[in-house]
Structure 1
Amino acid sequence: MHDQKESCNLLKEPRLVVRKFLARPQHEGLGAIVRRSIGRFELKYFDPFLVLDEFSVTAPAGFPDHPHRGFETVTYMLQGSFTHEDFEGHKGTIGAGDLQWMTAGRGIVHSEMPAAQGTQKGLQLWINLSSKHKMIEPRYQEILSKDVAEAIKDGIKVRVIAGEALGTKSPIYTRTPTMYLDFTLKPGAHLQQPIPISWNAFIYVLEGEGIFGNTKSSPTAAHHLLLLGTGDGLEVWNKSSKPLRFILVGGEPLGEPLVQFGPFVMNTQEEIDQTIDDFENYVNGFEKARHWRSESNLSLDY
């Protein structure tokens, strides 16, 4: 009884949903379809998050050679597999349940292309870097599905991509303090998940439908983004007859100026102008872009 009472009082101030909208499909890259929920005109930035895409790609569509500077990308595969190549010579394929946490830092040029038949599905999140980290060396953290931290309790399963849930921590290191949790709730399950009070947080529903924030809320179905208000955590109920799967993502706001030009994210317009100049002239981190082409790019017919 003591444990049950303790779990009932886990949160003093549960966060409520303050904004909700459906992520509609749009075209990106080379024939790829994405449902973009952060980084579109309704929500251009949710500090420190720049973009959230739920992607659906069937070969020969994909994301051929393109640059980045000033932030991190987190690619989490839900179905199929993707091969990543970059101008540093790094190449790897991630399949369902695997993830890649890429720090673009001062500059990277890479490609992300389907590696299997049929439709490849996943999520890509862009996380901003603070001014002191924007020009660090590029870095990768790749974790196979079998190595992703997991916990199961009271009808709740969580895959801990970053941060901590149900007493389980992720080994991923995040320069911008971040939590990224993949929850599945069985019918009838009730979740209480702490979130640092100062952080911004959101939910993206993948499957099923759930009640988020308080029991009077109307159920929310797949492909919806929910922005959470202030508080010390999140409450979720699955009152349906099917499993509910969603991601909960939170991060410490940077509170810095932001100027974005496509795949470049810096603090001032001058830095963006310099980045464009660096990329066009193959300097200051983009030297290897002069002669590099990915294998997938070389095989494309023009």
Structure 2
Amino acid sequence: MTCMRKVIDEIYGKETKEGVGAAVRRSIGGGKYSEFDPFLLLDDFTVSPPAGFPDHPHRGFETVTYMLSGRFRHQDFLGNSGVIGTGDIQWMTAGRGVVHCEMPDGENGGRGLQLWVNLSRNQKLCDSEYQDISHKDLPIAEKDGVQVRIIAGESMNVKSKIITKTPTVYLDFTLKPGSKFEQATFKGWSTFAYILDGIISFGGDGEEKDVSRHNTAIFSDGDSVRFINKGSETARFVFISGKPIGEPVCRRGPFVMTTQEEIEQALSDFKNGVNGFENAREWKSKV
């Protein structure tokens, strides 16, 4: 028997400042949801030059940047660089160490989402790597007024090409007025949705909940989520689900490990330029 998920909590993403002058709406990663295993953070960010996220380190998790509009330039201390534009994805595994910058490309800035996905303890010190995916290569499926862009995982029997170290589903849904859909989920996985535009009604069987723009819906456990656009305008949201790791989380700024001792080691490695941070002290970005 199908066990439908329902909305058990709602978070409003209040705008704050992060980096250097960037406007950020944070849901996961703040307040009562400082983490939602395996997710550490979801930011809806808006940047205009000269604002952005200048040189900073990471260790122990993955960052997923999804551009909603505009262009974002990336550069790191390993010699990697590039630009992602509207609809593009960068799935970065920080692993044992990355120092990088993320800044708007061009005069108009941009808007995007950044998701932090935790890594299990035995993966935290893996080699750093990237998956840069153009919007042209992200599969899209459509049915009865519902369109879904499959960033990670599967929907409407269409699968993403992105490989996730921590099992993750990341979908971008657009619903025309009156359209509805039921998305299958893995039972036991942490699942939420962030509304980009319009209002979406989640649930069913008399337990529907309307969730509006800039709000995040936290779901109960179950093996599906039903949703409908009851409004008169097109609505859009991202749907994110992941398999919990079930390990302690110890974090300090851009480092996420499992113990305080590991955090201290990360700070020491970064300061001394060793164990994955060999170029950290000398490198400065040119963006």
The equivalent position to 2:79 in structure 1, one of 73, 89, 92, is: 89
Ranges in structure 1 where 5+ consecutive residues have no aligned partner: 1-10, 297-302
Q: Give TM-score scaled by structure 1 length.
A: 0.93
- Alpha-carbon separation, structure 2, partners of 1:258 and 1:113: 28
| 3-state secondary structure, aligned to 1:146 | helix
8 Å contact from structure 2 (residues 271, 281) kept in 1:
no
C-alpha deviations, 1:100-134, integer Å up to 9, x for none? 00000000000000002224100000000000100
1:229 paired with 2:223, answer: no
Ranges in structure 2 where 5+ consecutive residues have no aligned partner: none
The equivalent position to 2:187 in structure 1, one of 197, 203, 206, is: 197
Question: Post-superposition shift, 1:13?
Answer: 1.1
Whichever residue aligns with residue 264 of structure 1, its letter is F
- Alpha-carbon separation, structure 2, partners of 1:216 and 1:104: 40
Specify the structure having the higher radius of gyration (Cα).
Answer: 1
Question: Post-superposition shift, 1:60?
Answer: 0.1
Whichever residue aligns with residue 160 of structure 1, its letter is I
Q: How does 1:1-302 map to 2 (within 5 A)?
A: 12-214=2-204, 216-296=207-287
Q: Give TM-score scaled by structure 2 length.
A: 0.98
Question: Post-superposition shift, 1:216?
Answer: 4.4
C-alpha deviations, 1:186-239, integer Å up to 9, x for none? 111111000000211000000011101225434211100111101101000111
Greater alpha carbon shift after TM alignment, 215-224 vs 57-66? 215-224
- Alpha-carbon separation, structure 1, partners of 2:220 and 2:168: 17
8 Å contact from structure 2 (residues 6, 208) kept in 1:
no
Aligned residues: 286
| 3-state secondary structure, aligned to 1:295 | coil
- Alpha-carbon separation, structure 1, partners of 2:178 and 2:156: 18
Whichever residue aligns with residue 113 of structure 1, its letter is M
Question: Post-superposition shift, 1:283?
Answer: 0.6
More helix by share: 1
Give identity over the alignment, percent.
52
- Alpha-carbon separation, structure 2, partners of 1:233 and 1:140: 31
- Alpha-carbon separation, structure 1, partners of 2:59 and 2:40: 13
- Alpha-carbon separation, structure 1, partners of 2:48 and 2:186: 38
| 3-state secondary structure, aligned to 1:211 | strand
Question: Post-superposition shift, 1:289?
Answer: 1.1
8 Å contact from structure 2 (residues 249, 257) kept in 1:
yes
C-alpha deviations, 1:247-276, integer Å up to 9, x for none? 100000000011000000000000000100
